[in-house]
Amino acid sequence: MTTPIAVITGGQGTLATVLSSQLRDAGWEVFAPSRSELDVRCAKSVETFFENLDRIDALVNNAGITRDSLFARQSEEDFDEVVTTNLKGAHLCSQAAAIPMMRQRDGQIINIGSYSALHPPMGQAAYAAAKAGLIGLTKSYAKELGKRNIRVNCVLPGFLETKMTASLSEEATEAARKRHTLGRFNTKEEAAGFIVNLLSMNHISGQVFQLDSRA
């Protein structure tokens, strides 16, 4: 049996590290490149990375950044950086990964979204717009690629304690916790486990999964 191959962008992030470990335990070969190995903002970098892979069974578009600021004060540079990394980067990687997937007539793309796409807080206009765009990409890609047996879904992992959220104040973190009906956040292990399970399902596409307990 052929060992399935997964690519996880933003491979040095907290969720990516746990997901890589769980996928390897499940029998996957995993490529989790850092930005120096795969800069999702750069079409040439994306092309170079993916053309060296003969087969791709799963792409997890996990690379993401935030530059929070009230929109009236946000620089054009910061806005472009957030949208380019979170949205354009996912688009470029999906295009590249879809080539071998279409040849195989099989594959999965999972976009890592955010609760902010649905309920954006103040100061996250760029990030929320980019993550909302990922939902649109997911549904459009699912329709285009379904005929080739390629499934595309979006996972909103919920508030995770990661490098990106570490900068939030204790007050902001506690306020977010109180909005959860279970009174706690997801763990990165739980979010990664859901993704591993989703990758084992061949009949689900075009869906958005919100993994938290906010009612």
- At residue 169, the pLDDT reads 67
Over residues 167-186, the mean pLDDT reads 74
Active site residues: 127
The rounded percent of the chain whose pLDDT value lies above 70 is 95
Please tell me the least confidently modeled range out of 29-33, 59-63, 178-182, 207-211: 178-182
pLDDT at 132: 98
For residue 149, what are the CA distances in angstroms to 102, 145, 199? Answer: 8, 7, 13
DSSP H helices in the chain:
14-25, 43-51, 76-83, 89-104, 125-145, 170-178, 188-199
pLDDT tens-digit readout, 122-163: 899 999 999 999 999 999 999 999 999 999 999 999 878 766
Instruction: Identify the pLDDT of residue 168.
Output: 63
- pLDDT for residue 81 is more than 70: yes
Location of structure tokens 């970098």:
45
Q: So what's the pLDDT on residue 179? A: 76
179 contacts: CB under 8 Å, gap ≥ 6 = 214
Q: Which domains are present in the chain?
A: 5-207 (3.40.50.720)
What is d(CA 131, CA 210) in angstroms, rounded to the nearest whole number?
Answer: 13
pLDDT reported for residue 149:
98
DSSP string, 84-103: IIIIIHHHHHHHHHHHHHHH
Whether 60 shows a pLDDT value over 80: the answer reads yes
pTM of the model: 0.92
